[in-house]
Amino acid sequence: MTDDLSDLQVEVPKAPRRAFRQIDPGARALVVAVCVMLMLVAALLPWVEGASGWQILFGLAPKGTVIGLVPILFVVCSTLFGVLISGAALVTRLWALAFASAAGCGFSLIIALLAVWSQQSTSSHEPGPGPGIGIILALLTLIVLTFQWVKLTLFSAPPSASRLGRS
């Protein structure tokens, strides 16, 4: 009996800090999970001149395909923040990972806009090859994913130490 009470005396002070470090995504968890799956599907579709996202990511694009730096940066950022960190944040429910996902997806969104723009423009007067369906799907999915993570982190921000009763 005393062992149970001593364990309880150790766990009770830690409970508020543990609760404040975690998020409860609720119904947003399903939206985020679907977005992560859509990011994986987008990586299978054509991005640049017929090269798919995963081919660009791993450097396996067909010979003769000219891929600029911005689409490469976009596929790396979207995979890192849109799939890996978002998935980890969803599984662990840690506020810090959710915040990293929000910031990373926001950054990836800016890179996505530049990647789409880079596919539409050239140095000549001719139009560019245009973005593939995969890059467009990844862009639209990142918009939703960024909105979901920002909403989650703003409304479940961890309190400061003063609100926890510490100074």
Cβ–Cβ contacts within 10 Å for residue 166, how many? 8
- Is the residue at 9 inside a domain? no
- Is the residue at 40 inside a domain? no
| pLDDT tens digits for range 25-62 | 888 999 999 999 999 999 999 999 889 999 999 989 88
- Is the residue at 149 inside a domain? yes
Place of tokens 């119904």: 27
> Whole domain around residue 51: which residue ranges?
46-59+67-157
Burial of 71: CB neighbours in 10 Å, binned 0-12, 13-18, 19+? buried
Q: Where are the alpha helices (DSSP H) in the chain?
A: 2-21, 28-44, 53-57, 69-77, 86-92, 95-120, 133-155
pTM of the complete model? 0.79
Please give the tally of structural domains in the chain. Answer: 1
Q: What is the pLDDT of residue 67?
A: 86
| pLDDT tens digits for range 110-147 | 999 999 998 887 666 666 678 899 999 999 999 999 99
Q: What is the mean pLDDT of the chain?
A: 84
